[in-house]
Each structure stands twice: as structure tokens, then as C-alpha cells.
């Protein structure tokens, strides 16, 4: 059986590279940029204030034509707006295409090529070692425009790079970023890769609300809708957490990217990957896509019935209790965490990680055709050295790695070829019950293969060496 084949190797001991070590806080020197780079950026930025355009501010007139009657959540009086209103233009794709500010009854804008120049300066600056891991491109765009505005108003005498570095440094702090994981719960926190998986507890949310109320004594007593919504959305969920020294936007960008990679790999540990009807929602909260329904029924022009809900299965929620966690460690959780943390992976280790991340995405899709496409792509990435080889080559190699008996290998070989033959019926939605049974068997074998690959990643230097070894012992024994 594929599951037994997945457990026929010893798990290498994980090293302690990922464990946090307490270190004395270091005094960070003032941020600086290479003089030549700074002069280049300053030279380009110095031309921007002269490219601002001015137009008279217009009063917003009532919109003419059809106005939909939609629910208005709140009306914010002008006097309640704190600070300067930030204005920007967007293109038809939603990308920011200009920024503006008010001065003496006029709207002063930076648009067109001038604004694109500002963005290029920000992108270039963000690539520097001083800023790459601590400041986002968006913050740099905002700060460069702020410098342009202040230069126009003659309220700053700093060079652009000096101003931006000084303002950036004010915003950099050590933050622990929590990325809630939808539909996922853990009994005990654990380290996986560069992230720690923790639970968002009631005590944590209670402390947040208590501290807010203490610092805002004017807030009325009683339930607060803001905190009620947070409790409803995140209480009890697992979260991927990471400590980062950066300004908040960049800290979120780094943690969010790492969380996606981490969860792609963590989902590989779940046997739920063996079932075509299961959709994993263990993704950063807000990126899950459960199929929902909501409708009304009327009778004699009156609403007679309404309902809403989600189409789910009992396996959609992932609960990792301590017993389940020990099973995941048997499947290679520690080895995969170590593999993910390698600073200089071998070419094959890198290809295994990339394939596992691709495979891990398959479980997030509802459609069987999407699941099958991602699984086959991940298998082909590891078992086919080039596009000239055929599904038969892949089927023979896969069979070697998911069963130890001639009969089992022959069955795995024929099953894989049948999947290739039937893949278009899944794409066209013409699959039958027997096709779904075939897919479930294939998904089970594929899961066993990828679990085994965690250990194989440390035994071979390149994919070609891995494939040659399989071909050399094909149909005559297992990998040594």
C-alpha cells in the first residue's frame, strides 16, 4: 500500500538551525546608502518638484444619472477626518498612477512620466542592502512624494535620500507578525521552517481590547463591534508567526510571502491530499475560497424565505492535535522543516522543495481537473529530465517509489497511465464514478511519493542522479 511505502525510510535528525537563540540587542547604526547610488537617486529626484502640475480644486457635484441604492455603512463628517487627506490617481487596472496634495485652494499633482520616474527611484532604492529587508516599495514611494511636496513648499532642506532614510528609520521596529490560517487549529505551537505555528487565544484578544480601552477611556462600555468581529474571525485559529525587524508594510510582505511558502509545504503532510472531494482551506485567512450560497424567495412580492451558508465536508477543517502532530513527525515534518531552512540547498533539494510547494497547492482547489494538473506538474518536475520523455517513463519511475512488490508496482504503473489517458475527461467535466475512484488511488500514491521525496532530497545531488538511480534499479529492487 502507498502509505506503508511512505514510511519505509528513517527520518534524518533535524538540526537546530531554526531554533531561536537569545542574543543581546545590537545598536543599529544610522541607515546610509552608497554615495554614488545616493547621488544618482538624488539627481533624478531633484527634477520631480519642477514636474508637478497645478489645477484648481473642484467641488464635487452631485452625480448625474443612475445611482444604485446600496447600504451605507457610515457617514464620516469632514471635521472628524484626522490629518491630511492623501489623494492618488489609479489606472484602469487599479495601479496607482499619480499622487496629489492640496495647497492654497489648488490641487498639485505628480502624474504621467514624472510619477513613473518616482516609482522607478523607489524600486531602485529598495534593492539596496540597507532597505531590501526592512522597507517596502510602497513606503518609499510615499516618502519620496512627501519629500517632493516638502521641496515644493520649501519646508525641507534635506537631500531626498537623506530624508527618506531618516523617515524610514523612524518606522523600523522589531515586530512579530501573525498570519491567521483559515480553518486550521493546533493544540500546541511548533516550529516549521522559518515560522512558528501558534494559536490566537482568547487571552491574547482580551488583553488587546483591555489595553485599547485603557488608552481610550472615552470609548463606551459594552460590546465593541470592532473587537467582536475580530473574535468571530480569528479566535482559536492557528497563525503562522515570524519575528521581523522592519517597518510594518515590509514586515507584513515578508511574513505573508513566507507564510504562503510554509503552508504550501505544511499541507503536504496531510493525508487529506489523498481525497479528491476534500478542499484544504489551510491558507492565509482571506485567501480561502469556500463555495457559499445565499438567496431569497418571495411570495406575493414579500420576502418569504432566506438562507445562506457554505458547502463543506467534515474534512475541510484541519485540526492538528498532539497525536496528529506526532504522526506528522513520522511522515517527515522535522526533515521537511530542516530542508526548508537550508541556506545553500543542493540543486536537487531546491527542486524537491519547489515540487512540494507546487504539489501543496493542489489540495486548495475544488475541481478535480485542477488538482490533477498540479499533481502531474509536480511529478513531472521531479521524474522527467526533459520534455522528450513520455508518461510511460514517469509511470515506471513513480511505481518504483510507491510500492515494494512487483504486483503493486505493476498496478501503480497501469494506474498512472490510465490517469494520463483519462485526464481530458476531468478537464471537460465528463468523468464518471470509476474515474473518481481512479483519481483517488492516484492521489494516494502521489502523496506517498512526495512524502518519500523528503528523505530522498538529502541522498542525491541532482535530479539527473536521482532519476538515473531509479532507472538503474527499475523493476529489480528499491532505492538504497
User: What's the pLDDT tens digit per position in 84-100?
Assistant: 778 888 888 889 999 99
Q: Is the pLDDT of residue 475 over 60?
A: no
Q: Is residue 451 part of a domain?
A: yes
Q: Is residue 382 part of a domain?
A: yes
pLDDT score of 462:
96
Q: Is residue 285 part of a domain?
A: no
Q: Is the pLDDT of residue 64 over 70?
A: no
HSE of 421 in the Cβ direction (CA atoms, 13 Å)?
10
pLDDT score of 63:
52
Q: Is residue 374 part of a domain?
A: yes
Q: Is residue 133 part of a domain?
A: no
212-239 confidence digits (pLDDT tens): 999 988 878 776 888 999 999 999 999 9
pLDDT score of 13:
35
**How far are the Cα atoms of 33, 208, 416, 444, 472 from residue 422, in angstroms, in the given order?**
58, 54, 10, 17, 29
Alpha-carbon distance of 330 to 455, in angstroms, equals 12
Q: Is residue 238 part of a domain?
A: no
C-alpha cell at 399: 511505481
Beta strands in 282-372 (DSSP E): 292-299, 302-310, 318-320
pTM given for the model: 0.84
Residue 59's pLDDT band (cuts 50, 70, 90): low
369-413 confidence digits (pLDDT tens): 999 999 999 999 999 998 889 999 999 999 999 988 889 999 999
13-38 confidence digits (pLDDT tens): 334 444 444 555 555 667 889 999 99
Q: Is residue 100 part of a domain?
A: no
Q: Between 388 and 447, name the one with better pLDDT.
A: 447
What is the extent of the structural domain holding 392? 2-16+331-472
Q: Is residue 392 part of a domain?
A: yes
Q: 3-class DSSP state for residue 197? A: strand
Listed in sequence order, the DSSP H helices in 216-312 are 225-234, 248-267
131-149 confidence digits (pLDDT tens): 999 999 999 999 999 999 9
Based on the structure, what is the number of domains in the chain? 1
233-284 confidence digits (pLDDT tens): 999 999 999 999 999 999 999 999 999 999 999 999 998 899 999 999 999 9
Helices 248-267 + 347-362 axis angle, to 10: 80
| Residue listed under C-alpha cell 512524502 | 451
Amino acid at each position: 500500500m502507498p502509505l506503508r511505502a511512505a514510511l519505509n525510510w528513517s527520518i534524518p535528525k533535524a538540526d537546530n538551525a531554526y531554533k531561536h537563540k537569545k542574543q543581546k540587542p545590537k545598536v543599529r547604526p544610522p541607515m546610509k546608502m552608497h554615495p554614488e547610488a545616493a547621488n544618482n537617486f538624488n539627481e533624478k529626484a531633484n527634477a520631480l518638484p519642477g514636474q508637478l502640475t497645478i489645477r484648481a480644486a473642484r467641488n464635487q457635484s452631485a452625480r448625474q444619472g443612475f445611482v444604485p441604492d446600496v447600504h451605507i455603512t457610515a457617514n464620516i463628517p469632514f471635521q472628524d477626518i484626522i490629518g491630511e487627506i492623501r489623494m492618488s490617481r489609479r489606472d484602469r487596472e487599479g495601479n496607482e498612477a499619480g499622487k496629489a496634495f492640496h495647497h492654497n485652494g489648488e490641487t498639485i499633482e505628480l502624474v504621467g512620466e514624472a510619477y513613473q520616474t518616482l516609482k522607478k527611484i523607489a524600486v531602485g532604492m529598495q534593492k539596496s542592502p540597507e532597505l531590501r529587508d526592512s522597507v517596502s516599495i510602497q513606503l518609499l514611494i510615499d516618502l519620496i512624494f512627501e519629500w517632493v511636496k516638502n521641496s515644493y513648499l520649501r519646508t525641507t532642506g534635506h537631500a531626498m535620500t537623506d530624508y527618506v532614510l531618516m523617515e524610514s528609520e523612524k518606522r523600523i521596529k522589531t515586530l512579530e507578525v501573525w498570519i491567521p490560517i483559515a480553518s486550521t487549529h493546533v493544540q500546541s505551537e511548533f516550529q516549521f521552517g522559518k515560522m512558528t505555528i501558534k494559536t490566537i487565544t482568547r487571552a491574547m484578544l482580551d488583553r488587546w481590547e483591555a489595553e485599547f480601552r485603557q488608552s481610550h477611556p472615552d470609548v463606551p462600555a459594552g460590546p465593541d463591534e470592532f473587537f467582536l468581529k475580530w473574535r468571530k474571525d480569528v479566535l482559536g485559529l492557528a497563525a503562522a508567526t515570524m519575528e521581523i525587524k522592519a517597518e510594518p508594510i515590509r514586515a507584513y510582505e515578508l511574513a505573508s510571502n513566507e507564510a504562503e511558502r510554509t503552508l504550501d509545504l505544511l499541507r503536504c503532510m496531510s493525508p487529506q491530499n489523498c481525497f479528491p472531494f476534500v478542499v484544504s482551506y489551510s491558507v492565509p485567512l482571506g485567501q480561502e475560497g469556500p463555495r457559499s450560497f445565499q438567496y431569497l424567495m418571495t411570495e406575493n412580492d414579500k420576502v418569504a424565505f432566506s438562507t445562506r451558508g457554505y458547502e463543506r465536508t467534515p474534512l475541510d477543517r484541519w485540526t492538528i492535535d498532539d497525536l496528529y502532530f506526532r504522526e506528522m513527525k513520522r511522515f517527515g515534518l522535522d526533515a521537511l522543516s530542516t530542508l526548508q531552512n537550508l541556506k545553500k540547498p543542493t540543486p536537487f533539494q531546491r527542486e524537491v522543495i519547489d515540487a512540494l510547494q507546487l504539489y501543496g497547492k493542489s489540495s486548495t482547489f475544488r475541481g478535480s481537473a485542477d488538482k490533477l494538473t498540479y499533481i502531474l506538474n509536480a511529478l513531472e518536475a521531479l521524474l522527467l529530465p526533459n520534455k522528450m520523455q513520455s508518461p510511460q517513463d514517469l509511470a515506471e519511475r513513480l511505481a518504483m517509489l510507491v510500492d515494494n512488490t512487483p504486483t503493486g508496482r505493476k498496478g501503480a504503473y497501469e494506474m498512472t497511465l490510465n490517469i494520463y489517458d483519462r485526464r481530458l475527461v476531468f478537464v471537460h467535466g465528463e468523468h464518471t464514478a470509476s474515474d473518481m475512484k481512479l483519481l483517488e488511488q492516484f492521489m494516494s500514491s502521489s502523496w506517498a511519493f512526495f512524502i518519500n521525496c523528503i528523505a530522498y532530497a538529502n541522498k542525491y545531488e541532482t535530479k539527473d542522479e536521482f532519476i538515473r538511480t531509479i532507472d538503474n534499479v527499475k523493476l529489480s529492487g528499491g532505492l538504497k
